[in-house]
Amino acid sequence: MIRGYRGGYLPNERRAIESGLRDGTVRGVVATNALELGIDIGGLQAAVLCGYPGSIAATWQQMGRAGRTDEGALAILVATGGLLDQYVIQHPDYLFDRSPEHALINPDNLLLLIDHLRCAAFELPFQPDEAFGNCPFTADALQLLFEQGDVQQHGNRFFWSGESYPARRVSLRSTGGDLVTIQAEWLEDGGHSTAQEAVDIDFYGGPWADEGPVVLQQTVQVIGQIDRGSATFLLHEGAFYLHEGRSFYVRALDLAEQRATVTPTAVDYYTEVTAETAITVLATHDERTHRDVMIAHGELLVSSQVVGYRRVKHFTHENLGVFPLEYPPQTLETTGYWFSIMPALQEQLAEQGLWFDAVNDYGLNWQAQRQRVRARDGYRCTQCGRPEASGRQHDVHHLTPFRTFGYVAGLNENYRQANELGNLVLVCRTCHRRLEAGVRVRSGLDGLAYALTNIAP
């Protein structure tokens, strides 16, 4: 038997899968990185990694799922076409000769600190002027908990006064503790008791396949839970949610009630979400220049928003339709590093044919054709259906790359063929990046990554 495993499964399902791996009734598991840490899953003999996980530590952790006993095991890394994957494949010493990365966190980050203080206050009251680790503002944080009703102050000491065991509310998977319950609803004839059986009825025939009237009763079953931050990405209305190899159609997502209502079904396509992410620099704490690269550190505001989805046919990957969505953006204030390429280095890379972010010359009729395409496509992305925002126009994409037409300014007019309306579509920036990747058009960052690949030690 082969099972699936990822975040969102109910605890009893996870325990059953882990037990099956240990006793041999489950012969294999297709898993996300939810299986990477903290689970004893017995004597697996092989691990196949689909793509480089992004760090040396994660790679060894995932490979280490196999060979936990004294027997040998096999680990295989199947690389994708991404530049990072290709670098690791071409430079295996990067993986085998280096130590894993250090696990670094900021314990004074308020999102972490407040939950830690709740758990600490539950164990013992805080003494006067007592600090939590090296945190310089423990007293201010305790005052915040006092105002929220989590602790009470008697004299100079703070005592836990919450109603529940605080550690239960602390998620190990995300900083947000809110969970969305996935509730499956279907009609049955009395002889089928689970959502898995219901989808089998729908696919293979039975009461749902009959044309005549059948008296059925509604059944409700909770099949999983997922963190609120992932809900709009995986459980948006119209999505097809996969659970243990079964497909469920998402009828409704109620964020206020923290519930997604799904119906078991069987179709030959899947859904792929379209999201936009914006990063705003709130404050710069440190900035320096090193070898024509400006490096900075500061506070950031990250905003992510699901704006649409599309249906994609299995195996052929045919686009079966695009549908807009309207969900509120999710924001996160955090810290981060960023870098900017100085003009001198840009010119050096451009001379080597590795920098392609200069403004492109698409010919004399480009602006006129661009406006015609925007009007023709109704000022909406042809991939996800998202309308143009006020003051921000969508991109116009060449279906056949412009460079393949061999336009040379002053020598020919090949831009006319490249800019024909049939070769142009209106797309939002998110979909444009996906299309560019599909035709392997290297952006400036791709060119930089290519350069780093050749100069990295």
3-state secondary structure the chain: CEEEECCCECHHHHHHHHHHHHHCCCCEEEECHHHCCCCCCCCCCEEEEECCCCCHHHHHHHHCCCCCCCCCCEEEEECCCCHHHHHHHHCCHHHHCCCCCCCCCCCCCHHHHHHHHHHHHHHCCECCCCCCCCCCCHHHHHHHHHHHCCEEEECCEEEECCCCCHHHHCCCCCCCCCEEEEEEEEEECCCCCCHHHHHHHHHHCCHHHCCCCCCCEEEEEEEEEEEHHHHHHHCCCCCEEEECCEEEEEEEEECCCCEEEEEEECCCEEEEEEEEEEEEEEEEEEEEEECCEEEEEEEEEEEEEEEEEEEEECCCCCEEEEEECCCCCEEEEEEEEEEEECHHHHHHHHHCCCCCCCCCCCCCCHHHHHHHHHHHCCCECCCCCCECECCECCEEEECCCHHHHCCCCCCCCCHHHHCCHHHEEEECHHHHHHHHHHCCCCCHHHHHHHHHHHHCC
Do 301 and 371 lie in a common domain? no
* Structural domain includes residue 98: no
pLDDT at 222: 93
Do 280 and 198 lie in a common domain? no
pLDDT at 457: 41
Q: How confident is the model at residue 107 (pLDDT cuts 50, 70, 90)?
A: confident
Q: Which structural domain range is residue 213 located in? A: 171-267
pLDDT at 356: 62
The amino acid sitting at 198 is A
Do 175 and 163 lie in a common domain? no
DSSP strand pairing (2-5 vs 28-31): parallel
Query: Length of the chain, please?
Result: 457
- Single out the residue of 396, 399, 359, 353 nearest to residue 376, CA to CA: 396
- The least confident of 130-139, 299-308, 351-360, 434-443 is 434-443
CB 281 within 8 A of CB 298: yes
Do 193 and 233 lie in a common domain? yes
Greater confidence (287 vs 353) lies with 287
* Structural domain includes residue 164: yes
CB 160 within 8 A of CB 148: no
Q: How confident is the model at residue 137 (pLDDT cuts 50, 70, 90)?
A: confident
Query: Taking 80 as the threshold, does the pLDDT of residue 217 lie above it?
Result: no
Count of domains forming the chain = 4
State the residue for tokens 């989805």. Answer: 309
* Structural domain includes residue 456: no
* Last residue in a domain, options 214, 234, 267: 267
Q: pTM for this structure?
A: 0.65
Do 153 and 190 lie in a common domain? no
* Structural domain includes residue 53: no
* Structural domain includes residue 17: no
Contacting residues for 153 by C-beta, under 8 A, at least 6 apart: 146, 159
Do 284 and 302 lie in a common domain? yes
Query: Taking 90 as the threshold, does the pLDDT of residue 68 lie above it?
Result: no
pLDDT at 287: 92
* Structural domain includes residue 182: yes
Do 238 and 297 lie in a common domain? no
Rounded CA separation 232/254 (Å): 10
Per residue in 174-196, pLDDT (tens digit) is 666 688 999 999 876 655 555 55
Do 153 and 193 lie in a common domain? no
* Last residue in a domain, options 150, 169, 188: 169
State the residue for tokens 């709009």. Answer: 232
Do 226 and 305 lie in a common domain? no
State the residue for tokens 């791709």. Answer: 446
Q: How large is the average pLDDT for residues 127-146?
A: 86
Per residue in 219-249, pLDDT (tens digit) is 889 999 998 889 999 999 999 999 888 899 9
Query: Taking 90 as the threshold, does the pLDDT of residue 28 lie above it?
Result: no
Per residue in 324-359, pLDDT (tens digit) is 898 999 998 888 999 988 888 888 887 787 776 656
CB 378 within 8 A of CB 394: no
Do 306 and 394 lie in a common domain? no
* Structural domain includes residue 227: yes
Mean pLDDT of the chain: 82
Do 186 and 261 lie in a common domain? yes
* Last residue in a domain, options 218, 233, 267: 267
* Structural domain includes residue 322: yes
Rounded CA separation 247/384 (Å): 22
Rounded CA separation 150/144 (Å): 9
Do 256 and 314 lie in a common domain? no
